[in-house]
Amino acid sequence: MAPGLYFRHPSSVEHDTGAHPENKARIPAIENELDRRGWLGWERREAPEVANAQLERIHPPEHIERIRATSAAGGGWFDADTLASAGSWTAALHAAGGACAVVDAVMGEERAPTAFAGLRPPGHHCEETRPMGFCLFNNVAVAAQHALDAYSAERVVVFDWDVHHGNGTNDIFHSRRDVLYISIHQSPLYPGSGPLRDAGSGDAEGYTVNLPVPPGAGEPIWLSLVEHVVAPIMRAYEPGLILVSAGFDAHRADPLAQCSLSTESFAKMARHVSATARRLGVPFGSVLEGGYDLDALAASVAATLEAFSEDDPQAESVERDDLTERVSAALKPYWAL
């Protein structure tokens, strides 16, 4: 069996955003780098379109129709950051469908070791009724709900390591206990959400975990949070599936943020995720989000997929830093850290 399944679709480059930072050049950059590395032995598959019923479990029909109609009219802007072209409807269907295909690959009869949806547009900023932040549908939310519905998973973790807070995913699952949303993100930064105190609502308080880091935060801070906060919470939650919203814009070369991760930093975080999933005996997969320096994006995706597919991932241990101590104290009412 291949070490992983990679879902792609040519429509990803038909979502034409011109000179926008989230543009069609991102996909060839990733695929050219993976081709140079022999695709790391991963098997490539065409991402299917998402079923309308799958979309409607997250987004109301009015939202879906707005995306379709705008694309059918030749495109247009939803807000100052988010636009569609004539090809965006098909691309968005395959982006959400690819995220669901990741779930099918790792949870279905095939039981693939892991899977990655290398598609665009991204999704984690999209709210239930509002396209936002380059995102038209919330791909990872649709995938998480698909896991709950199609495979009777009782609990799903979404770990979002994109440098921007995934406000859409955060809000969609804010009052639910069956999806645990964990985000490490730079603050202050777009979209301005995700403070540490935002821990969910109602009887789901504690099931949203926001871990803001300051501009300039590098590997010591990120890895300390992953090792000493994210991984222990995932283990305690005992999910049936782990999904990663894999953005690569915390890289030091990225033009839209000020964190300072290296390419290898993403591989180290991936090893923590993989090691945690293997320790729990649960499947895991990932969905492409941001990353806007093409060279850094391509190299970081490749390093992440390589780490995800290691037979015996060795998660690097680091000391707990001061931020981790403060975060652990704030989360003490919900999790033993």
pLDDT of residue 83: 97
Both tokens of 161, joined, read 């390591």
Q: What are 233-242's pLDDT values in tens digits?
A: 999 999 999 9
pLDDT of residue 332: 97
Contact 218, 260 (CB under 8 A): yes
Output the pTM of the full model: 0.98
Residue 305's nearest CA partner among 258, 256, 255, 267 is 267
Give the whole-angstrom CA distance, residue 178 versus residue 239. Answer: 9
pLDDT of residue 1: 87
Element containing residue 8 per DSSP (H, E)? strand 5-8
Domains along the chain? 5-331 (3.40.800.20)
Residue 302's nearest CA partner among 222, 243, 248 is 248
- Per DSSP, the residues of 113-174 read S-EEE--SS--TT--SS--BTTBSS-HHHHHHHHHHHHS--S-EEEEE-SSS--HHHHHHTT
Contact 40, 305 (CB under 8 A): yes
Contact 298, 29 (CB under 8 A): yes
Backbone region of residue 218 per phi and psi (left: phi > 0; alpha: psi in -120 to 50; beta: other values): beta
* Residue ranges for the chain with pLDDT beneath 50: none
Annotated active-site residue 125? The verdict is yes
| CA 57 vs CA 11, 26, 121, 128: distances in Å | 24, 29, 19, 10
Both tokens of 247, joined, read 């953005």
Contact 22, 289 (CB under 8 A): no
Catalytic residue among 15, 125, 228, 251: 125
pLDDT of residue 190: 98
Polymer length in residues for the chain: 337
pLDDT of residue 152: 84
The arrangement of strands across the sheet holding 115-117 comes to 43-46, 5-8, 115-117, 284-288, 241-246, 156-160, 179-186, 208-213
Give the whole-angstrom CA distance, residue 58 versus residue 146. Answer: 10
Q: What are 126-165's pLDDT values in tens digits?
A: 999 999 999 999 999 999 999 999 998 999 999 999 999 9
- Per DSSP, the residues of 240-290 read SEEEEEE--TTBTT-TT---BB-HHHHHHHHHHHHHHHHHHT--EEEEE--
Task: Give me the residue label for tokens 């406000």.
Answer: 167
